[in-house]
Structure 1
Amino acid sequence: MSKNAGLNAIEITFLRLSLGLTQAQVAELSKASENDVIAWEAGEKPVSGLAEKKLLEIDEIIEMQVLNTCDGIEELFKQEPKRRLSFVVYPTQAVYAQYNPEFLGSLPLTELYSTSAWRIKKECKLVLEVEVTLVALDVEAYKAYREKEGLKESREIRAKWAATQI
């Protein structure tokens, strides 16, 4: 028996759904056609090794981000006890790409970043008893905030802006 039997139709479907991706996005990521993805999910064709590898890799990257972020939040709260946080999520792929070029290799789609934020939110609530609010980046409001405060663009400043939105 093979050590790695591969994902079956149900598993590939639920992995895709857990990542918040459409069949078209999976096709794009795996360099396959949307019809191929539909066939994999219907059990009509075996799942492409590349698709399986890419989706499992992305899921692992997200899980590592959740673990690392939650560990960082736990450390922060040991020094400064708070119970509310906010995370910025991005309304479109263009806005995500503009503000997060460092994540485009590991999480190439805004949906994946949002999935990561959602999993962090759930983990923070369950494990750390911390309320996390996901705040969609409003580019104009964010720029106005930076101008008013005399701040440059950075992840930390986006986080501060998001905190003003809850």
Structure 2
Amino acid sequence: MASSREAGFGEEVKRRIIIGTYALSSGYYDAYYGQAQKVRTLIARDFEQAFTQADVLVSPTAPTTAFRLGEKLDDPMAMYLNDIATIPANLAGIPGMSVPSGLAAEDGLPTGLQVLAPAMADDRLYLVGAALERMLQEQWGGPLLDRVPEPTQLSKEG
């Protein structure tokens, strides 16, 4: 059973599961989970208010370009911090999608754009995502993946 529970989970996913389990263990439930639920409610209300003024919300997917293959495996904090823009949608329970938005001039690595929609408005999300993808592919002259540099595996030292 243990080996089937680990199948498909990388080290980072396992680390996050362990942290979540620890935070929910006895003695920590009230200190963390109860307060987190209150904050989650406030975040959901903020999104509800924003969607009274906009059909969708658009923002960067991450504060940096994509990492090079294997680059941040030994730096979990960098990986956590790179998730900062996607966490609010997960907490609020609203749908989101990330689409490639270009390649950074300095390193040629991909950047992303996320589109968020109100709860139960997945169709709106797909329509906007498809329109963005069409527009960007016209601008790029084809799929962005055709322009991404070949991935290179970094050594543990690099």
The structure with the greater share of residues assigned to strand is 2
Q: When the two structures are superposed, what TM-score results if normalisation uses the length of structure 1?
A: 0.30
The structure whose residues are more often helix, as a share, is 1
TM-score (norm 2): 0.31
